[in-house]
Amino acid sequence: MPSGIRDDLQRMPIENISTLAKDAFGDPSVIPLWLGEGDLPTPKLASDAVAAALAAGHVFYTYQQGIPELRNTLATYLNDLHGTALAADRITVTAGGMGAITLAVTMLVQPGDNVLVVEPVWPNIGGAVRVAGGIPRPVAMDYSKDGWQLDVMKLESYCDQRTKAVFFS
């Protein structure tokens, strides 16, 4: 019976990041940076701001690209940090990192395009590229006593006319 899901997506392996972390759950010697979360509780300032926003009735859909004041603040911050002139209308605020990555990949990648994925890597990027019809092309960094090193010439050698992006995590 047809499932309604594209055949190529049905054949795609699931890149479930939680399977990588499950053996370390509860291990106090492991800093839990998996699944997009840190090891510190939410600061009181942020919790209080969320509680105040809920109490004030800010529970409805908002601007599609994010609240204008937030986007303006982010533009000012980024421009001060990098000495650029980024306009706030070039910024989109998303609900999380995976949504932002999926949105960016969807806008850039067409079937047959590739994205260079610098490894070691957060595994979900491969799935986002495949869903867009693209090909994730892994480029391994080298590890030595000095830590991880990226050979930029090797990275460049993986580029071709269909390369749309380079992903670092």
| Residue whose token pair is 């940076």 | 33
Q: Can you give the pLDDT at residue 34?
A: 64
Q: In what order do the strands lie in the sheet with 114-119?
A: 135-140, 114-119, 163-167
pTM for the structure as a whole: 0.71
Lowest-pLDDT range of 11-15, 101-105, 126-130, 157-161 = 11-15
Neighbours of 134 (CB within 10 A): 24
The predicted-structure confidence for 46-85, as pLDDT tens digits, reads as follows 999 999 999 999 888 889 999 999 999 999 999 999 999 9
Q: What is the 3-state secondary structure (H, E, C) of 2-28?
A: CCCCCHHHHHCCCCCHHHHHHHHCCCC
Scored b (16 or more CB within 10 A) or e, 53-71 reads: eeeeeeeeeeeeebeeeeb
6: confidence class by pLDDT, cuts 50, 70, 90? confident
Counting residues of the chain whose pLDDT is more than 90, the rounded percentage is: 60
Q: Domain-by-domain residue ranges, the chain?
A: 7-60+94-167, 63-93
17: confidence class by pLDDT, cuts 50, 70, 90? low
